Chain A
Amino acid sequence: MIQINLWKLQMLFPALTAFVLLSPSQALAHIEQGQAIGFITGLHHPWSGLDHVLAMIAVGIWGAQLGNPAIWLLPVIFPIVMSLGAMMGLLGIPLPGIEIGIALSGILLGAMVLGEVRPKIIVAALMVGFFAIFHGHAHGTELPAGQSGLLYSMGFVIATGFLHGIGITIGLIHRWPQGRLALRGVGAFISFMGVTFLWRALA
């Protein structure tokens, strides 16, 4: 648990107040259009790109290899930072080399699983967070017209979380020697696929 100073928390409220007062109007909240389909689209979207799927699973497996607290910290960091990346995309902030970044995420995260690399937790978190920005920027902004942004976002984040969960579940075989070997094989596969994504991105 994290102890924070209440006076520091107090500093948050003036900032939030300023944000509220300066926010643009026209949010069009509560309009019920494309609600269910928005959720389904968001839920489906992360599965539609193999690069995204493999990176999410690699994060889960790596977290399982690293054990506590990485097993839960990495999958918590990824969706939040991914959303930041998506927000950058929505705000029109350009991010160069998105496809290359996504391909590199596959290569490096796969390599971490392959080598069962155990960096400090802050290094692992920074690495996962760095690549999450690319995934968010590329995938989080693709809302089809007429669909609910809220439910699309919920579906997108939940699906991403489930992909991490699949990775963690696969990573549970780490407790057996054969399982560790198998995980390294999965890491090699993810890394290899990352190389093919990079090849495509550069071609």
Chain B
Amino acid sequence: MNGNKFYPGIFPGLAFGIAVLCSPSSADAHLVTTGMGPVYDGIGHFLLTPEDLVPVLALAIYAGLRGADSGRRAMFLLPLAWFIGGLAGSVVNVTVSIPIAAISFLILGGLVAADFCLPAAVVTGLAIVLGGVHGFLNGAALKESAGMIGLMGIMLMVFVVVTVVSAFVISLKRPWERIVARVAGSWIAAVGLLMIGWAVR
């Protein structure tokens, strides 16, 4: 952008991610048990946990609004980052209790609502940070139950959700259809604001 050969958004984004991961305290995480094995436990956990599901939906919508290139990046990088974050969470005894989900809701919902025209590289960064942080929390939650297999179930479901949702949003061509997506983003951001209020209280 101004001669800097590194991408300008990467380092501040990484600093933010590291700050999130290093914030100490307890997570009190849980796991949904389906009775059908660890893969389905992971899938069930993801689908029944709005703290994880909604930010993924928001990123998928945003990537879809930004076009096929961003959609493809999110489709592959988010599940991968989720898995790597999960691996880290399963071996590192650091837990997080800051309102991660609320922050994810607010940032991603706000981006969708405003339809900010950011380059695909930023979507890449968002996918990596979102996947890394939420995956880390999932890894910590799963290490004493479904473990890596459960994490793979989550990764699979993240891939499916991002693929389906971003492809659907890319297919929206009429202006009002994109507005519907943006309204959904505003709702997600509004919920994020409320969650921050609950967390602070």
**B36 on the interface (CB 8 Å rule)?**
no
Indicate which residue in B9, B25, B117 contacts A25 across the interface (CB closer than 8 Å): B25
Task: Give me 7 A-to-B residue pairs in the complex whose CB atoms sit less than 8 angstroms apart, sorted by A's number.
Answer: A3-B117, A17-B12, A26-B97, A27-B98, A28-B28, A28-B97, A29-B100
B117 touches A1 (CB 8 A): yes
Indicate which residue in B16, B107, B179 contacts A72 across the interface (CB closer than 8 Å): B179
Query: Given A23-B99, A30-B30, A72-B183, 16 more contacts at CB 8 Å?
Result: A2-B115, A6-B118, A6-B119, A9-B122, A13-B12, A14-B15, A25-B24, A27-B98, A29-B100, A30-B27, A30-B141, A76-B113, A86-B194, A90-B194, A91-B200, A150-B101
B contact face: mostly helix, strand, loop, or mixed: helix
A157 touches B190 (CB 8 A): yes
A30 proximity list for chain B (CB < 8 A): 27-30, 49, 51, 137, 141
**B37 on the interface (CB 8 Å rule)?**
no
Closest chain A residue, CB of each to CB of B198: A149
Query: Which of A1, A14, A30, A157 is packed against the most chain B CB atoms within 10 Å?
Result: A30
In the assembled complex, how far is the CB of residue A63 from the closest CB belonging to chain B, in whole angstroms?
11
Q: Given known contacts A26-B25, A26-B97, is B117 in contact with A143 (CB within 8 Å)?
A: no
Complex Cα–Cα for A149 and B196 (A):
10
**A140 on the interface (CB 8 Å rule)?**
yes
Binary CB contact string for chain B from 2 to 41 against chain A (1 if under 8 A, 0 otherwise): 0000001100110110011001111111100000000000
Complex Cα–Cα for A98 and B15 (A):
41
In the assembled complex, how far is the CB of residue A39 from the closest CB belonging to chain B, in whole angstroms?
9
A32 proximity list for chain B (CB < 8 A): 30
Query: Which of A21, A31, A149 is packed against the most chain B CB atoms within 10 Å?
Result: A149
Complex Cα–Cα for A7 and B1 (A):
9
B97 touches A27 (CB 8 A): yes
Closest chain A residue, CB of each to CB of B7: A6
Complex Cα–Cα for A21 and B137 (A):
17
**B173 on the interface (CB 8 Å rule)?**
no
Closest chain B residue, CB of each to CB of A149: B198
Complex Cα–Cα for A150 and B48 (A):
13
